[in-house]
Amino acid sequence: MKRDCIFCRIASKELPAKIVYEDDRIVAFDDIRPQAPVHTLIIPRDHFASLNEVPAGRMDLLQHILSKIPAIAAAKEVKAGGYRVVLNTGPDSGQDVFHLHFHLFGGRKMHWPPG
Ligand code: DGP
């Protein structure tokens, strides 16, 4: 737990969030500034600033997150219609919270290429 990290504090329930799914390793909660009708963030409980900081020996965590996303999409009722998963990494990507998080977007037609 990194004391000054917003997402660590959400994972530990120190800060409120609309939690969609949680287990011993990950938490999914709705984004505070939704960019689509469904916009949920999925984070590991353990703090990694970004994908770049995940050690090779912890990559199983990413597999775990990805394995749960279809069920999270189903819970948000976008599994059948389709959804987009985004992992911003580093300054050029637009990442502004430096605790690894996947975005799950759905509920509208997505554009390509992304901005
Ligand atoms: P990114 O740009 O990839 O780092 O996305 C960070 C996202 O986190 C952004 O869509 C807004 C969201 N966010 C920032 N602070 C909070 C918060 O306190 N609560 C919730 N639920 N979402 C937050």
Mean pLDDT for the stretch of residues 35-42: 98
Domain span at 15: 6-106
Residue 99 covered by a domain: yes
Contact 44, 26 (CB under 8 A): yes
* Portion of the chain with pLDDT greater than 90, in percent: 97
Instruction: Report the CATH number that the domain containing residue 45 is assigned in CATH.
Output: 3.30.428.10
Q: DSSP letter string over 28-54? A: EEE-SS-SSSEEEEEEESS--SSGGG-
Question: 0.75 cut: is pTM over it?
Answer: yes
- Residue 39 is among the residues annotated as catalytic for this protein: no
Catalytic residue from among 47, 64, 99, 101: 101
> Does some domain include residue 13?
yes
Q: How confident is the model at residue 21 (pLDDT cuts 50, 70, 90)?
A: very high
The answer to whether residue 45 sits within a structural domain is: yes
Pocket perturbation via mutation, ligand 1, pick of 39, 40, 41 by most ligand atoms within 8 A of CB: 41
Total number of domains constituting the chain: 1
The pLDDT tens digits for 43-84 are 999 999 999 999 999 999 999 999 999 999 999 999 999 999
Kindly state whether residue 27 falls inside one of the protein's structural domains. yes
The answer to whether residue 67 sits within a structural domain is: yes
Which atom of ligand 1 has the smallest separation from the CA of 96? Answer: 4
Q: How many Å lie between the centroid of ligand 1 and the Cα of residue 41?
A: 8
Average pLDDT over residues 3-31: 98
Residue 112 lies inside a defined structural domain of this protein: no
pLDDT for the residue numbered 96:
96
Domain contains 10: yes
Pocket of ligand 1 (CB under 6 A): 6, 17, 29, 31-33, 41, 88, 94-97
